[in-house]
Each structure stands twice: as C-alpha cells, then as structure tokens.
Amino acid sequence: MKKIVALFLSLALLLGMTSAFADDLKIGTYDLANAGDIELGFGWWGNQVRDAATADALNYLTENYPNITFNTNAQNWSNYWALMLTAAADNSLPDLMQQDYAYIEQWAAADDLLDLTPYVESGALDLSGLSQNIIDTGKVGDKLVAVCAGVNAPALLYNKTLTDELGIEVPVNLTWAKFEEITKQIMAAKDGGYRVIYGQGNSENYPTYYARGLGKTALFEAEGTTLTAEEAAGYYKLMLDGVAEGWMFNTDEIANVNVDDIAQSPMVFGATPDVRTWCSIAFSNQIAAFNAAAQADGIELGICSWPSDDPVASNYMKPGQFFSVTTDSKNPDAAVAVLNYLINDPQANILLKAERGVPANSSVAAEIAEEVNKIDPTYGVAVDYLAVVEDNSSPIFAPLPSYVGEVNADVLKRLSDEALLKNPAYTAEELGADFVESTNDIASNY
C-alpha cells in the first residue's frame, strides 16, 4: 500500500512538474497538452545554421509537449517556393510556413494564409510585445495573415580580415563612389583579385535599392516601374562601367562561381583571389550563416550598408521573415500555439539564435541578447548595425505587386546578364528603355 501511495505521489509530482515546466512555455491560451497527438507541418527556407536552430526550437517544444510532433521541410530559397506552390495546388501546405514580406500579398490573395485576427482577439496569439508598425507589416487589407519573426536590413557583409590587413576603413553608410574606391584599392594590393559581384540574377533588390537612392520609395507600383528610362539607364551604367573598368565580375565569370549557397559564397570559399570577392550583398541576419562558413578560413566579417549614392534614402528596416498559418492546416489552434511559442518564448528564441533577424518582440529581443551573443558573437554585430540603420534609413516600400515575379525572371535577369557582359551588345540607354518598356508591358497585361 505504502509503495502504491509513494508511486502515486511521485507520479503526481512528476506530472505536476512537467505541467509546471510546460506552463513556462509561451504557447498562448490554447490547451496544447490536452490536444491529443498532433503532427504539425512546418516549412521554411534557410541555410544550415537556420535549419539546425529551427529544429532545436521545435524539438524543445516536443520535449515539453510530447503529443506535439513536427514534420519539417527545410529548403533553399528557390526550391522552397516551387515546393510550396505545388503543395498549395493540392491543398497540402504545411500548417506553418515561413513567408517573405514581398510575397504575402500574392499568397493572401490566393487565400492560402489563415486570418489570425480572431486568435489575437481571443488571446490565443499574444502580439502585445510587438509594436503596431511591425504587426501591420503582416496585414493584407484588414486580415492579419503573417507575423513578423525578426527584423533585418540590407547589409553588405565584407571580409574585415582583408580590409584590416590593408588598413582600409569601410564606412557603415557606404556610398557608391567609396564602394568603387575600396574595391580598386583592394585589387591593386592583391594582384587584381577580390572583385565584386553586383546586380546579377533575378533579384529586384539591387534596382530597388538604386531607385530608393534616387528618392523613390519603391521600384514597382501597380501600373509598372517608378523609374524613367533615363533613370533605369543609370542603374545599368553602374554595371557596364564596373565590368569595363574590370572591378566587377562579368556574366561569364559569375557562371563559374556559386553565388546561391552561402557555404560556397565567393566571399568565404574559393582557392584563389581571382574567383573571390571581398564582400557580399546580403541581409543583416545572414551574418550568422556567412560567419559559420567564414570561420573555417579564419575570416572575420564586417557589416555596412549596400552601396548607393544616398545610403540613408536607400536603406530600410525590413520586417524580415514571417510565419503564417495556412488555410490547409487541420489543427489551426495548435499551429497558432506553436506560432505564439516561436514569437514570444525566450527559450525558443535563444534556440533560434535570432538567425531570422532580431526578434520582433522587443522584450524577448532584450531578454535573449546576452545568451545569443554567447552562442554567436555576430549577433551583437547585427544588432549594432540595425541600431545604426534605424536612424539612417527611410520607410520600406509596400509589399510587391504580383506581377513582379515575372519581371524578375523575364526582364531583370535577362538585362543584368546583358549589362554584365564582357563585350556588351547594348548601351545603358537601350537597357534602361528595355527595362521600363518590358516591365510596364508585363504589369499592364497581368
């Protein structure tokens, strides 16, 4: 009898302990422990550092709520969207998906993202730690379809070991002239090595930054681009000149280096200076992943703004990565509880290492800073940079109109390939006119 009582007591104690422990996790008001066995799907794009950190945070939740398990799907950026599109087609999106500021409008319009407003009202999703500005970035119309997980900003990450060695000071607000000067300085000292990669591929990021430097807020509006042909020509002239003067990688040379994968980025990977760069156009949160790759070569990283004639007008604070609950979720309540955990739980955010950017929940950000810094010293660097950007930036553009994806693939990539040719076939004026005409054509036919 005694034994049974003892067993019972210890069991009760054990149960009490776990529930007390579990209560510590910030999962909102939903009774996750008694929700039964649930497997939640969770998809994100990322890199090695993020994939491991996210798995850690989810495992920690499973340790506390053994009935909740995860079916995770980590991809790189481009595969991620292709995969999610296919999943959307047969309504098998994961319960939770990572989203990007630029694309939430398109996904909300397709009715793939759950409106979280009722959950905020009921208290199941606690957003009291987030500023209203940040919350609003996840709204499309009057629906809250995504919650910002972290804040970042465009950042040029550079090989500080190299610039220190040459005694070069890189200013935090980098002008185009200074960018050019530093690159030439490094090349002169290093036998013509360490050129830069700029403007390549199908990203709207470069021309957007350029357009903002001219005083525009966005590159794209509903009817087409904000740039005139002349202004767009100025953008392509940067590339034509850079290649002609020999300090920018040309189209053929970029094909020879892998720019998509951070671990193989030419800033941190490559045997000889002629295939390497001294800097990478990136976002501030990526410093963690770049640093993980750079450490092997003993490279210390520095951070500054992207090059622009007016960095303060160009630069912006970006509500970086978002989490959304999808309309395909069969357990939206549980998914919202996990979302609440990812946004508000300090331990979760320590495990996430703030790799998606500085947590949007400011009290969590303050709480975890010391811990995360211990794990990853680059975090402090990113935080300091964001503090500078906050005072040296302009408001961000609106989420991109849906037609932009087609412009990226069919116009921007084609023109940047041409502009970066070693022996270019077109002038800056022709490329600029082509950009404006093709973009407006796509926009008006969409």
Q: Which residues of this protein are in contact with other proteins, per CB under 8 A? A: 77-78, 81-82, 85-86, 88-89, 103, 106-107, 110, 112, 202, 251-256, 270-272, 274-275, 402-406, 408-410, 414, 417-418, 421
User: Which one, 110 or 222, has the nearer CB to other proteins?
Assistant: 110
What are the Cα distances from residue 258, in Å, to 206, 210, 254, 265? 19, 24, 8, 6
* Minimum separation from the CB atom of position 260 to other proteins (A): 8
* Minimum separation from the CB atom of position 406 to other proteins (A): 6
268 within 8 A of 294, measured Cβ to Cβ: yes
Rounded CA gap, 127 and 343, in Å?
A: 8
User: Which one, 33 or 442, has the nearer CB to other proteins?
Assistant: 442
Angle between helices 287-295 and 48-64 (to 10 degrees): 110
User: Which one, 266 or 307, has the nearer CB to other proteins?
Assistant: 266
Count of other CB atoms within 10 angstroms of residue 109: 13
User: Which one, 78 or 133, has the nearer CB to other proteins?
Assistant: 78
What does R_g of the chain's alpha carbons equal in angstroms?
Answer: 24
Sign of dihedral through CA atoms 422, 427, 431, 434? negative
* Minimum separation from the CB atom of position 411 to other proteins (A): 11
User: Which one, 313 or 415, has the nearer CB to other proteins?
Assistant: 415
* Minimum separation from the CB atom of position 383 to other proteins (A): 29
Rounded CA gap, 61 and 72, in Å?
A: 14
Q: Where are the beta strands (DSSP E) in 149-255?
A: 150-152, 154-159, 220-221, 224-225
User: Which one, 78 or 444, has the nearer CB to other proteins?
Assistant: 78
Query: Which 3 state secondary structure label does DSSP give 71?
Result: strand
Question: Can you read off the two tokens belonging to residue 269?
Answer: 């990977």
* Minimum separation from the CB atom of position 221 to other proteins (A): 16
Rounded CA gap, 292 and 264, in Å?
A: 12
* Minimum separation from the CB atom of position 158 to other proteins (A): 22
* Minimum separation from the CB atom of position 251 to other proteins (A): 5
* Minimum separation from the CB atom of position 155 to other proteins (A): 21
User: Which one, 139 or 413, has the nearer CB to other proteins?
Assistant: 413
User: Which one, 23 or 260, has the nearer CB to other proteins?
Assistant: 260
